[in-house]
Structures are given as structure tokens and as C-alpha cells.
Amino acid sequence: MKENDQPILSVRDLRVSFATEEGLVRAVDGVSFDVRRGQILGIVGESGSGKSVTNLAIMGLIPMPPGRIDGGRVLFCGKEILGVPEAEKRKLRGDRISMIFQDPMTSLNPFLRISLQLTEVLELHKRISRKKARRHAIAMLDLVGIPDAAERIDDYPHQFSGGMRQRVMIAMSLLCEPELLIADEPTTALDVTIQAQILELLKKIRDELGTSIVFITHDLGVVAGICDETLVMYAGKILEKGSTRSLFASPSQPYTRGLLRSVPRLDLGRKEELTPIRGNPPYLLDRSPGCPFLPRCDFAVDKCGEEFPPRRQVAKNHDVWCWVEMEGSAG
């Protein structure tokens, strides 16, 4: 296999649980996927579906206890990273894999100037002089679209608007030129115009720096605009995955169809009636052997309660986990 054909990230049968007072929560339950080099992969699902926990596990940031990795493999550039010692993980996180969190205020220190927060990262991980680090940090702020970056770098976080703070966060996550960037709902707290700008920015970063990106969101509409491939997660499992084009053209899981009906589609540019998916998000403690979406599914058959469905290919690079073959789906 040529080096460039090897996925930058391969997750295989990942299982993560949390011991809670009510019992064991299986937050991630047998998740497998690849991220190819230079690809933007979207992970979509309602709140509590395991999107963040999947990616925290990749980053080695699951709090243990109460968390536990029950199994699986995470390969970064072909090398297992799940069990590596903490020091090695920390180095990996700074140098090669980076994460943007949902709320920039939780990751920026309100009492320190941006300049210090940005250059510290560089001095620590790249061992370059303060002067050089500052120059690089200004260039990054410039790249993410902060006007007058050379002056604004000495501002405090609260002197930036929400959208600008998110850009600062993105700049910080890019400082060490990571090969993989994990963006966990980076636009949820922002208004629609700024959200669109941040999405454009992530695309630009991929195109100009070649960064592979995992983009987490609960909004399928956002995915359509930027992701090459999309995973649909529910109750810690992947229910559908494929090229974004195929997945949107022929959603093949009732849950994906429900999600599509319940969010506005930016790409369609017209007003449609939105229908929320009936029922409540899954109760992760009570795990029956079947499909977790069963209690909310309008198409369920007997088998759905008995066994989780095997992977079924509906088109090239488009798989679904569902016992029912939906009409109008691909393949």
C-alpha cells in the first residue's frame, strides 16, 4: 500500500463505557471508520449519541474512571495509539492531532493575552524562540481571518466577539500544523453567517494545509456543505456511513431520513416543513440486543428487536446498518 493510500486514522470496533450510579453507560459501542488524508469526515447524531466520546477516546482524553475503554483499536498513520503512555499521547496531541472544542471560552484562559496562550503552545511543542513563535502565531491569526492580527494578538479573549474567539481557537489548534484536526461542534454557539464563515475557513485549511478534519455536529445541514464523507451515529453505534453525496441522495436508514427531515437543508436553499423524529433519544443503560433506534422507528420488523443488523452496502462507499431495505434508497 502506498503511504498516501493509508488512512491517517483508522478506528476499529471501539467500545467505551462509563460507570454511573444508575449502571454502565455504553457510550461508544463498536464503532469503526477511517479518515483518509486530506478528507473532511462528518460525524452526525443527536445529543448523547457518542460523538464526543468517540473523539475523546481517539485523543486519549476519556476520564478514567468513570470511563473505560472496553475494546477496539485506534491507528494513527498505521500505529496503535490507544494504549500508548500518557507522555507520548500528550506529544501526539500537541504535534500531530489537535482538537477544537465547542465553547472557546472553556479552552482560552480569560486572564492571559492571546499572544501568550498562542506562543506557549509553540515554545512547548516546537521548541522555537519566543520571537519566532510570535511571528508564526500572527501568521496563523491572519490565516484564520483575524483583521490586524499583529495588534490583536495582544488582546485578551473577552475583547474578541464569539466568532472571532472561535477563529482564535482554530488558529491555536493549527499552530503546530497538525495532520489531523478534530472539530467538535465548533460552530454551534455561533450565528448562521459566522457559522458559514468558519466552515469556509475549515475547507480552506484542508485545501491549503492538507489537514485531515473530523467535523462533529448534530446538524446534517452543515455536513452537506463541507464533508466528503459522513457517519450517522445513534446510541454509540454507526447506523449509516458513506460519501456525503450518496448519503444525502439516498438516505437508507430510517434514522438518517428522520434527521434529514428534521433539519433545514442549507444546500437546498428553500423552506421545507421540518418534522422532528418522534420519541426520545435512547436510554443507554437499557441495551437490548437489537437496533437501538427500534422504539422510534416507523419501519421496524420483528428481527429489529432481536439482533443488531450486519453492514449492508447500498452503493459504492455507502453502507447502512438496517434490517429493512427502504424504498427509494440507493443500490
Ligand X SMILES: Nc1ncnc2c1ncn2[C@@H]1O[C@H](COP(=O)(O)OP(=O)(O)OP(=O)(O)O)[C@@H](O)[C@H]1O
Least distance from Mg ion to the Cβ atom of residue 256, Å: 19
Q: Which of 13, 23, 64, 66 binds ligand X (CB under 6 A)?
A: 66
Residues 174/211, Cβ–Cβ less than 8 Å: yes
Among the listed residues 52, 212, 250, 256, the single contact to ligand X using CB under 6 A: 52
Query: Where does 50-183 have alpha helices with state H?
Result: 51-59, 86-95, 104-107, 114-126, 130-143, 149-152, 162-174
Q: How far is the CB of 182 from ligand X (least distance, A)?
A: 12
How far is the C-alpha of 87 from the C-alpha of 71, rounded, in Å? 21
Range in contact with Mg ion (rule: CB under 5 A) among 3-11, 46-54, 68-76, 144-152: 46-54
Q: How far apart are CA 26 and CA 282, in angstroms?
A: 11
For ligand X, give the closer residue by CB, 97 or 140.
97
* Per-residue b or e along 178-213, where b marks 16 or more CB atoms closer than 10 Å to that residue's CB: bbbbbbbbbbebbeeebbbbbbebbeebbeeeebbb
Q: Is 27 in the site for ligand X (CB under 6 A)?
A: yes
Q: With contacts defined by CB under 6 A, how many residues of the chain interact with ligand X?
A: 17
Q: Which of the residues 185 through 244 are near ligand X (CB under 6 A)?
A: 218
* Beta strand pairing call for 229-234 and 40-44: parallel
By beta-carbon distance, which residue lies closest to Mg ion?
52
Q: Does residue 152 bind ligand X (CB under 6 A)?
A: no
Nearest residue (CB) to Mg ion, 39 versus 52: 52
Question: Whole-number minimum distance, CB 160 to ligand X, in Å?
Answer: 24
52 binds Mg ion (CB under 5 A): yes
Could you list the residues that contact ligand X (CB under 6 A)? 18, 20, 25, 27, 45, 47-53, 63, 66-67, 218, 284
